[in-house]
Structure 1
Amino acid sequence: MGQIRNILFVMYDQLRHDYLSCAGHPTMRTPNFDRLAAMGVRFSHVYVQSPICGASRMSFYTGRYVHSHGAAWNNFPLKVGEMTLGDHLRPLGVDSWLIGKTHMKADAAGMARLGLAPDSVIGARVADCGFDVWVREDGLVAEGPEGFYDTKRSPYNEWLKSKGYPAENSWHVHANSGVDEQGDIASGWLLSNSLLPANIREDDSETPWLTSQALDFLADQSGKAPWLCHLSYIKPHWPYIVPAPYNTLYSAADVVPVVRSDAERVGAHPVFDAFMNNQPGQAFSKDGVRETVIPAYMGLIAQCDDQFGRLLDHLETTGQMDSTMIVLTSDHGDYLGDHWMGEKDLFHDPSVRIPLIIYDPRAQADGTRGTVCDALVEAIDLAPTFVEAMGGTPATHVLEGRSLVPWLHGQTPDWRDAVFSEYDYSGMAIAGNLGLSPREARLFMVFDGRWKLIHAEGGFRPMLFDLDTDPDELTDLGALPRHAEVIARLERRLADWARRPAQRTTISDETIVTMRGKSRRHGIIIGAWEAEDLAPDLRAKLQGKPAHDYRGV
């Protein structure tokens, strides 16, 4: 075991915190994820800063809360000037690379205002979340009546064409669709097709393709500068369809019971009610949908796990395991029918809580290998963890998370008493249906380890859950007067958090302390009545005779 030279930062899209066998899932088998957990620390209570792809990822990459960086929903641009992982690591001599997805939208107007050309080195980094790009593939090659969702060129789609797949959009026709009994395309967008095998050779599907890209990167970097590689997978995110043999690996018998109650629909919070009744919520509330979709979701995870094994085997075979920190996580979870919901979006644990496993190769971490840490962790903690792991000092006036290195090394640091998450749903039809302005369509979560409060702008009451007595979050206590004191306490905690100096990022607290009183020593003397009120050295430049007296001229 030596020092950390490289960091492999692996993210899976929409992977629930409880769909790993090492996290206790009774039927899901993830031997390679478990293999990493045996080598490192599994953090069991980790929360994203927003339960939606784009906003969550921008918090991972900046180490900042959502209303600090401002990219509050998918395709909300990350403003020019926000520091990202690459900005923190490059001064330490560490390159920062991307393989896969970021869901980042560039601030094109800001770049143009500052004269940053997208094809320049700096411009390209600003446009790709601070990373140098090995390959960027967001895996969103969807097409509707008004065109493609993502108009950027898809490297994966181009690669499929080079392999002989004939469709113009092979991402949809082959990688994310099956074939029905009539020989027609059975689109993966339709949940009823989830159990069909995707119409693609398994080796050519998205997850193996991206793993091969990563292996090519690892081979290319031999002997080069230290690096952080963000390997960001598209799966097990929808469309829920997977190639053979993974489509038959699990069946309805492997699906765990749903977590929901009829009482959740009675007097439901208006925002919760609106999400329960959107299209994903209605679909996952139907009989048989979970039994069709979840085996495919589990198959996608199994494929991810197998491909992760390829990476671990390569690192071991090449001797890089002893100098590479490995991180496994997700950008958010997936309701999968729990709480009458599909997708993500709200703050129940299936959506806002994520898996996190960290392997630190250094000897200082030997005592924590194979352990579980129950501390309250936020996604923004990874950025300062990476900086400290590579020998730097996290810039605490910019990075709002806290380094996890002490936990990895068996220490018990002074730690946070609550975690926070935000959700801006102003761009969704739901906000319009509720009659909300963009400023009103926002939710905030504060969770202190027992009580979870969801504050809703727009004049709505809060939601409140007691996870000690109701770990499944089935009973909303927010309307009950007897919990007014708890609600008031958590609202104050949320207000304290909101008052942090989030935008003071150009000067550190340490620099501010050294500035105290310095203006007087540079001649700015305010409020003195006479020279004797000042120390001799402060008044020295104020006294003496002028070279000439012009008053009588």
Structure 2
Amino acid sequence: MTALRKILFISADQWRAECLSALGHPTVKTPHLDALAADSVLFKRHFTVTAPCGPARASLHTGLYLMNHRSGRNGTPLDARHTNVALEARKIGLDPTLLGYTDTSADPRGRHPNDPALKTYEGPLPGYKPTMIFQEYMAQWMADLKAKGYDFEGRHDVYKPKPGFEKPADRGHRFIPTFFKNEDSDTTFMANRILNWLDDRKQEEWFLHCVFLRPHPPVITPEPYNAIYDPTDVPFPNRKATPEEEAEQHPHLKAMIGKLSKPNSYDEHNPNNLVTMSDLELRQMRACYYGMMNEVDDAVGRIIAHLKATGEYDHTLIIFTCDHGEMGGDHYTWGKETYFDQSFAIPLMIRDPRHLADATRGSIVDAFTESVDIMPTILDWLGAEIPAQADGRSLMGFLTGAPPASWRQEAHMEIDFRSGPYGGIDAERAFGIDSHECQMAIIRGKRWKYVHFAALPPLLFDLENDPAEMNDLSKDPGHAGIMLEMAQKMLSWRLRHQEHVLTDLHNSPNGVEDWGKRRRG
């Protein structure tokens, strides 16, 4: 009997890449993810190719770079002509299910202007069966809280700090927990729904994409997670002596620091100025962020335990990753829309249940991998055809002990930072540039990192000698040759990956011939 095909595709939200104890983080302990990593392949240099949430997830699911799918901001429609991992999986008989969110903004063409799908950026990606999407998830969770007797009005105050909580003097504001208990949290609620869904499908094939909100802000967590980490044990952010000195590095960084100095620009119900707050408050914010990770770690542990108990673990492809990173106070910034590595570096571990992957279990891959590689990897594992649109490449060779002979030597990232209704900076006004000029592209190798802006100054970092990206070398005449080399690499990357869906097809007397397949065959 052929083994049932099962895929568990877990995504967290806003998880810094190094925050796994399996990678030696000095503070964070993630025992359940560590156990999964020991039975998986862990990708050490994994990067999302864009941010924020909607664009990052568009790339994750379509296998396309931002320059090709062009859904650059939360709310920017994703062109319906692009296929994705869920649509492709349906072609081979699977029914991909979504519990959580993909932050997909629907293509308005062919829809009436009053279509509710056009009034949110939090729609489901076409191809997924939206069993519980984000709006419903939050509504169901809040209804559950109210049924249990919790007193609050709605989404605007569901993450308020616990009233009357006596905070110790040596703890910051974000030590104060949520007013709801851990067993009633949004993370636990989502884990319970995932387990209920799985429990009904033990003898079925399935493809489940489940998405946890945490450790996305607001930065607050229920007891006991608020107290797991002592702020004195938390690494201090990489930053210069003052915000003003930091802001001198680049106009875009200056604008981001300015935005974050305004109340509620990142973390709701937080009385602190996130740029100028005390060292204690800063470390406490980070400690709470780590605690939010432990919420997700425990939830993942419950899910894996269920799969092992039912015998499905030995037949399930398991992927754990997230959409983008988190600055966490580095360079006086928070969130994920800067040019620094912390915005883009994210975790990735993949467990292939087949015996041919036994030799690689517990290994760590040092090669550069990108979020666009997930879609072709899943399809490759399923034996499905990888569509011509994919910019990414399958990671299957890393899982089976036969890594590709030729692999990328850099990671590539982009951000469209034009203004829009869902956050960001008012870039056009701040910089006096056109919306279409609000673009940055990044090429990041093991030593050199080059940041190119369409209408702002470039940046160059020597990561070997300056891993925290504190010193821009772009204006140093001694590095002009490196600047040119990295700019040429970026141009070559863009030329190789500009849209290529039809470029290998040729109409001929024999009909349409795919010369790409002929070359690969």
TM-score bracket, shorter-length normalisation: 0.7 to 0.9
Asked whether the 8 Å contact 1:17–1:23 carries over to 2, the reply is: no
C-alpha separation between the residues in 2 aligned to 1:132 and 1:328? 20
Among 295, 320, 324, which residue is 1:303 paired with?
A: 295
Alignment-derived partner of residue 367 in structure 2: 375
Structure 1 residues 95 and 116 mapped into 2: Cα distance closer, same or farther (>3 Å)? farther
C-alpha separation between the residues in 1 aligned to 2:14 and 2:512? 56
Which amino acid is 1:198 matched to?
T
C-alpha separation between the residues in 1 aligned to 2:214 and 2:64? 25
Deviates more, 1:435-444 or 1:401-410: 435-444
Among 395, 398, 406, which residue is 2:389 paired with?
A: 398
Asked whether the 8 Å contact 2:87–2:126 carries over to 1, the reply is: no
Residue 126 of structure 1 and its aligned partner are, at CA, apart by: 8.6
TM-score, normalised to structure 2, is 0.87
User: Which secondary structure does the structure 2 equivalent of 1:112 belong to?
Assistant: coil
Larger Rg: 1
RMSD of aligned C-alpha atoms?
2.9
Residue 195 of structure 1 and its aligned partner are, at CA, apart by: 1.2
Residue 382 of structure 1 and its aligned partner are, at CA, apart by: 0.3
User: Which secondary structure does the structure 1 equivalent of 2:45 belong to?
Assistant: strand
User: Which secondary structure does the structure 2 equivalent of 1:67 belong to?
Assistant: helix
Asked whether the 8 Å contact 1:280–1:343 carries over to 2, the reply is: no
User: Which secondary structure does the structure 2 equivalent of 1:486 belong to?
Assistant: helix
Residue by residue, what CA displacement relative to the aligned partner does 1:1-45 show, whole Å, maximum 9, x if unpaired?
Answer: x96711111111111111111121112110001001100111000
Q: Does 1:222 align with 2:202?
A: yes
C-alpha separation between the residues in 2 aligned to 1:77 and 1:168? 31
Structure 1 residues 266 and 501 mapped into 2: Cα distance closer, same or farther (>3 Å)? closer
Residue 456 of structure 1 and its aligned partner are, at CA, apart by: 0.8
User: Which secondary structure does the structure 1 equivalent of 2:202 belong to?
Assistant: coil
Asked whether the 8 Å contact 1:275–1:430 carries over to 2, the reply is: no
TM-score, normalised to structure 1, is 0.82
Residue 287 of structure 1 and its aligned partner are, at CA, apart by: 2.0
In the TM superposition, 1:287-302 aligns within 5 A as: 287-288=278-279, 289-302=281-294
User: Which secondary structure does the structure 2 equivalent of 1:68 belong to?
Assistant: helix
Residue 465 of structure 1 and its aligned partner are, at CA, apart by: 0.9
Which amino acid is 2:396 matched to?
V
In structure 1, stretches of 5+ residues that fail to align are 120-124, 142-153, 522-553
Q: Does 1:200 align with 2:180?
A: yes
C-alpha separation between the residues in 2 aligned to 1:520 and 1:418? 35
Structure 1 residues 430 and 366 mapped into 2: Cα distance closer, same or farther (>3 Å)? same
What is the aligned length? 487
Alignment-derived partner of residue 548 in structure 1: none
Alignment-derived partner of residue 157 in structure 2: 173
Alignment-derived partner of residue 525 in structure 1: none
Alignment-derived partner of residue 223 in structure 2: 244
Residue 285 of structure 1 and its aligned partner are, at CA, apart by: 4.5
Residue by residue, what CA displacement relative to the aligned partner does 1:307-339 show, whole Å, maximum 9, x if unpaired?
Answer: 111001000000000110111111111111112
Residue 164 of structure 1 and its aligned partner are, at CA, apart by: 3.6
Asked whether the 8 Å contact 2:324–2:346 carries over to 1, the reply is: yes
Residue by residue, what CA displacement relative to the aligned partner does 1:105-149 show, whole Å, maximum 9, x if unpaired?
Answer: 222x22417999979xxxxx99534311121116997xxxxxxxx
C-alpha separation between the residues in 2 aligned to 1:250 and 1:126? 35
Residue 172 of structure 1 and its aligned partner are, at CA, apart by: 4.2
Asked whether the 8 Å contact 1:4–1:361 carries over to 2, the reply is: no
C-alpha separation between the residues in 1 aligned to 2:113 and 2:93? 26
Which amino acid is 1:438 matched to?
S
Structure 1 residues 117 and 517 mapped into 2: Cα distance closer, same or farther (>3 Å)? farther
Which amino acid is 2:288 matched to?
A
Q: Does 1:503 align with 2:499?
A: yes
C-alpha separation between the residues in 1 aligned to 2:476 and 2:317? 47
Residue 255 of structure 1 and its aligned partner are, at CA, apart by: 0.8
In the TM superposition, 1:110-509 aligns within 5 A as: 110-112=109-111, 128-137=125-134, 154-169=139-154, 171-174=155-158, 176-181=159-164, 193-224=173-204, 226-262=205-241, 265=246, 267-279=248-260, 283-288=274-279, 289-395=281-387, 397-413=388-404, 414-427=406-419, 428-431=424-427, 432-458=429-455, 460-500=456-496, 502-505=498-501, 507=502, 509=504
Asked whether the 8 Å contact 1:51–1:347 carries over to 2, the reply is: no
Alignment-derived partner of residue 19 in structure 1: 19
C-alpha separation between the residues in 1 aligned to 2:137 and 2:304? 27
* Percent identity of equivalent pairs: 31
C-alpha separation between the residues in 2 aligned to 1:111 and 1:417? 41
C-alpha separation between the residues in 2 aligned to 1:140 and 1:67? 32
Residue by residue, what CA displacement relative to the aligned partner does 1:329-387 show, whole Å, maximum 9, x if unpaired?
Answer: 11111111112211121132221100111111111111111110001000010000000
User: Which secondary structure does the structure 1 equivalent of 2:324 belong to?
Assistant: coil
Alignment-derived partner of residue 90 in structure 1: 90
Which amino acid is 1:84 matched to?
N
Asked whether the 8 Å contact 2:236–2:283 carries over to 1, the reply is: no
Residue by residue, what CA displacement relative to the aligned partner does 1:492-534 show, whole Å, maximum 9, x if unpaired?
Answer: 22222223464343x473x43xx4565899xxxxxxxxxxxxx
Residue 204 of structure 1 and its aligned partner are, at CA, apart by: 1.1
In structure 2, stretches of 5+ residues that fail to align are 263-272, 514-521
C-alpha separation between the residues in 2 aligned to 1:257 and 1:20? 17
Residue 241 of structure 1 and its aligned partner are, at CA, apart by: 0.6
Asked whether the 8 Å contact 1:72–1:423 carries over to 2, the reply is: yes
Structure 1 residues 134 and 127 mapped into 2: Cα distance closer, same or farther (>3 Å)? closer
Asked whether the 8 Å contact 1:3–1:361 carries over to 2, the reply is: no
